[in-house]
Chain A
């Protein structure tokens, strides 16, 4: 039998086939299936981002020589642990069979981002618990024995795992066949990290403003938030150009409108205009209410970004043309 190599000219329209426009898919039927993920997954991404970002802030505040940053160390550790308690609730609630959540703990699978994320969350929660226990002991609300816990090493672990928690959700989305997410295989993870850090800065600024924390530390948070928001805005705008057709669902239509109004303008540009002042040598004095309002805008922007990302991903899955020619 003589071997027959596949006739390359037959393989696909892209390779020189002669399909007319009307025949380039099966009745325009979607090639891919939409994920069933709803607001619970959006909330999981959002909460996990603040949680992870707070883990990074805890290490930064802990390592600072500035005594004022103690309050941030406290707020970020407590916030991180509180969110680590809510996060798995969202994760479990989104499952089709929540009572089988523990099946994810049967195996450790490097190839599955979902598996890595579950183990990352488990590790992070434990580390966050140790750090919060240390903080409780420092605050005199827990036995002094907890102060013997290895503080620096565990703090560093929380920061590292926090960065993972902030970024892995982006990798999770991009390691799928969904055209929008696959196209953003570099952008989406990087934007997730930036958005998570900005949101964590905002959330901790709110806590500090509420408890009357030091203006100096709030100002530092604003500066870091400014840097993260700048990076996020640049990456988002670059992603819009890079994504082209695959990005239509995300950057145009009603989802694009939401992204522009609530994330790019409301959640990034406005807070940046305010937080940029934190770099100025002569800036206005801190105002608690203003800090809270601006931080709330950043949080809104972070949530809407994730909402739009998930919903636009689903919409892009419905376009057979994108799925038939996946980015290689």
Chain B
């Protein structure tokens, strides 16, 4: 049974409890504080060490000639796509679809080739740089990741220190799901803007919510439900009230592997042309005056 998130942006109050709960449960380090001067957002993006991120989208409108401003708040997360670019790109099989139908990076398998990073059309998955990860546990202070890994206690790695040099993103709290717990972000959300459950149930609930909002004059739509794109539906989908670009989400995301047939064909065509030229030059044509 597919499990996922329904993130209803109309309910988000921008408290960032999801961000904090995610960091706490997953033992992710805090970002270096940097004042962005962009609304109340100093994190700015999802990353290898930020798996939930609240966007503060500022809107100024003129209502009856009076300028008014409002916020669109949105808690962004890995979309856990039906056809996931990162999963398809992964050459080690580290990225899998788990029994909850979610896209999961096995931290002990990933070797940090980085191919999943440009293969995500949403820019979610990212590398965790070796230097960027401070140790979490007290015992790990003077140990680098390499010595830990070569020490043969790979299992302890997650306890003592976040693995680094690999790709990372939201696991949809695989570990919590395994013991029938709600993912940390959904658990912490005080307004039920983030709802966790069976994707089919969530979709039905979300469609009802869209209908309800329309009766109240709010034009919302679901992003990631009944999609016709090559990426397909998203197991973590969203209720949005503005065009998706306002949330930095492409209206029609493209699955990168769909470019492969054209690419291989073009390479084969070029190779065939040059092979024929080579045959003509080396095998057929007279050797030229130099031969004399």
Binding site for B on A (CB under 8 A): 1-7, 10-15, 17-19, 23-27, 29-37, 56-57, 60-61, 63-66, 68-69, 94-101, 103-104, 106-107, 109, 111-115, 117-118, 159, 163, 166-168, 170-172, 174-178, 181-182, 185-194, 197, 215-216, 219-220, 223-224, 227-228, 231, 281-283, 286, 313, 317, 320, 323-328
Contacts and interface: CB of A to CB of B under 8 A. Distances in A.
A68 B290 CA distance: 11
B191 interface: no
B226 A185 contact: no
A188 B267 CA distance: 8
A232 to B, nearest CB: 9
A287 to B, nearest CB: 13
B247 A171 contact: no
Interface stretch (B170-178, B180-188, B281-289): B281-289
B82 interface: no
Contacts of B124: 33
B226 A215 contact: no
Top-9 shortest CB links A-B: A96-B112, A12-B251, A167-B267, A96-B165, A17-B243, A100-B111, A171-B263, A115-B91, A189-B267
B2 interface: no
A56 B130 contact: no
B254 interface: yes
A143 B100 CA distance: 58
Nearest to A282: B289
A231 B270 contact: yes
B111 to A, nearest CB: 4
Given A31-B123, A112-B90, A185-B262, A11 B251 contact: yes
B264 interface: yes
A286 B210 CA distance: 77
Q: Interface residues of B: mostly helix, strand, loop or mixed?
A: mixed
A10 to B, nearest CB: 5
Given A30-B123, A166-B271, 13 more contacts: A11-B251, A25-B245, A32-B118, A35-B115, A96-B166, A107-B93, A111-B88, A112-B115, A117-B91, A192-B267, A223-B281, A323-B121, A323-B123
Contacts of A60: 278-279, 281-283
Contacts of A103: 92-94, 109-111
Interface stretch (B6-14, B17-25, B136-144, B217-225): B217-225
A96 B113 CA distance: 6
Given A19-B243, A170-B263, A64 B282 contact: yes
Interface string B235-263: 00000101111111111111011011011
11 contacts: A13-B251, A17-B243, A23-B59, A66-B287, A104-B92, A106-B92, A177-B123, A186-B265, A186-B266, A189-B263, A228-B274
A317 B250 CA distance: 13
A167 B271 contact: yes
B208 interface: yes
Given A11-B251, A27-B38, A99-B149, A326 B243 contact: no
Given A171-B264, A177-B85, A193 B251 contact: no
A5 B111 CA distance: 42
A167 B126 contact: no
Given A101-B111, A190-B270, A11 B123 contact: no
A95 B247 CA distance: 32
Contact of A189 (B264, B273, B290): B264
A95 B256 contact: no
Contact of B117 (A35, A193, A228, A231): A35
Interface of B: 36, 38-39, 41, 44-45, 55, 57, 59, 85, 88-94, 109-115, 117-130, 146, 149-150, 164-167, 204, 207-208, 210-211, 214, 219-223, 225-226, 240, 242-254, 256-257, 259-260, 262-271, 273-275, 277-279, 281-283, 287-291
Contact of B210 (A4, A32, A66, A167): A4
Contacts of B256: 175-177, 182
B271 A186 contact: no
Given A6-B225, A104-B113, A96 B127 contact: yes
A199 to B, nearest CB: 12
Contact of B287 (A68, A159, A187): A68
Contacts of B214: 4
A6 B222 contact: yes
Contacts of B257: 111, 175
Contacts of B259: 171, 174-175, 182, 185
A176 B257 CA distance: 7
Nearest to B265: A186
Contacts of A224: 274, 277-278, 281-282
Nearest to A181: B118
Nearest to A219: B290
A176 B118 contact: yes
